[in-house]
Each structure stands twice: as C-alpha cells, then as structure tokens.
Amino acid sequence: MAQNHAPAKPTGSPAVALNAPPQPRANPTRHPHRTTPSTTTRRRQKKRIFSCRHFLCIACFWSIIVLIALLLIAAISGAAFYVIYHPHYPVFSVDSVKISIFNLTTTPSDDTTHLSTRINLTLSARNPNNKITFSYDPISISLLRNSIVLANGSFSNFTASPGSIQVIHTKMGVDSEILDGEFARSLASDLKNNKGMPMEIHADTMVGVKVEKLKMNKVGIRVACGGIRWRAPRGRYVNSTASTDTAKCKVDMRIKIFRLFSL
C-alpha cells in the first residue's frame, strides 16, 4: 500500500529567486536633496533665452539698416552739394618777398649768434567759388628756413566774397633772435650758397565758410608756400628780393568734415 508523503518544508533561510530583476543602485555622485528641474521649467528657460537672442538679432539688424540709410543720405547730400556748388579750397600765391635787413652777428664775449631781419611779404588769396564766401580770422605768418624762423608777421581779418582776390601785405621780422650754434652755422652756410637760400612761408588762421543761408563752423587751416629762394648779395644783406618764380602754396584743412547749421 502506497504511502502519501507530505512535501518537505524548507528549512533555514529562504532561497533567492534566480530570475528576480536587479535592484536599482543609488548614484553616489548625485546629491540626495537636489531636485531635478521639470520638463516644463526647462522649456520656459529655453523659450526665454530664445526670446532674448531673437530681440538682440532684430535690434542689431535694424541698427545696421538705420546706419546704412544715414550713410546713403549723407553720400547723396554730399554729391548733391558738390554738383550744385562745386566747392573749391581758397587759392594762395606768393607775389613778392623783399628783404630790407638781414643781419647775422656773433658776439665774441659769449660766442652767441643773433639774427635781425626786416622783410616785406605780399601774398594773394583768391576765392575760386561762385556761391561760397570765406571769412578769415587774423592770420599769423612766418618765414622759415627749415625750422629756423627768419621773420614773423600777421595780417588782419577779412572776408573773401565769391570770385574775389585779397592782397595780403605784411611787414615782418625778428629782433636780435638768438640762434643755436648748429642753426647759426647752417644759416651762415646758406648765405654763401650760390644757388640761394631756400625759404618757406607758413600762414595759420581760422576760416569760416558761408554757402547762401548755410554757415559752417570756423576751422583751422595752414597755408604752406615753398619754392622760394633768396640769393644774398655780397657785403651787407639789404634791399634784395627773393625769387618766387617757382613758388607754390598748399592749403591744408585741419578738419575734413564740417558740421552745417542753418542761420
């Protein structure tokens, strides 16, 4: 007779299931109290960043457009102004340079060299424009040999109407000007040069420009005239005239762009 055997009860610790899923392991680098931002928050941040960049792009775009438009307007205005008025710088020329006194003396006691001069200078200032008026402040004029000032002078203020010619005549000179030793030797050598002593004229002033009802702020100009040569006569260097046949003058505007305003 068969006997029924009851299943044996497990003894000891329960058996671990072989096919149980692995347990998740904690991330040791993650802060236990830090919360991960939600997807909605990240979307809002990205949208805000995108909006800022979009605004900056639009602002830069319109700034460039406005700048280009202003440059075009300025170019068109300048071209129209040039076509209508055809402006030109004033024209200067050297008429005569007459030396009445030119004394270069050396004092034996202290071995210093002194220069004394008296020079009559005549320039011409022509306004070649038809509708532009120049107004000049007092002019400071110097006659130089390299960096040695041979004479100083000035001329009063005047207004040059369109197409006019203004004669600038001034008596200039220096009185017992002390020269450096090197300058004195250079000047003494020039006086003995058969080709003559080269000279240069510098004239500095402020000039205003008026175009019908438009007036410019006054700006500084320098007129530089070269190509002047003076051959000193033998003996006393008096009552002689420098050669101005090859003299040419150049007008240098200190400011190239002027601001116009209505009267």
How does pLDDT run along the chain (263 residues), one tens digit per residue? 445 555 555 555 454 444 555 555 555 555 555 555 555 555 555 555 556 676 778 888 788 888 888 888 877 766 765 666 678 899 999 999 999 999 888 888 888 899 999 999 999 999 999 889 999 999 999 999 988 999 999 999 999 999 999 999 999 999 989 888 888 888 888 888 888 899 999 999 999 999 877 888 889 999 999 999 998 877 555 788 999 999 999 999 765 544 443 33
3-class secondary-structure state, position 57: helix
| 211 Rama sector, left if φ>0, alpha if ψ -120 to 50, beta otherwise | beta
The helix or strand, by DSSP H or E, that contains position 83, with its residue range, turns out to be: helix 39-85
How far apart CA 196 and CA 194 sit, in angstroms, is: 5
The helix or strand, by DSSP H or E, that contains position 237, with its residue range, turns out to be: none
Q: Answer yes or no: are the C-beta atoms of 127 and 110 closer than 8 Å.
A: no
The helix or strand, by DSSP H or E, that contains position 219, with its residue range, turns out to be: strand 219-230
DSSP 8-state code for residue 14: P
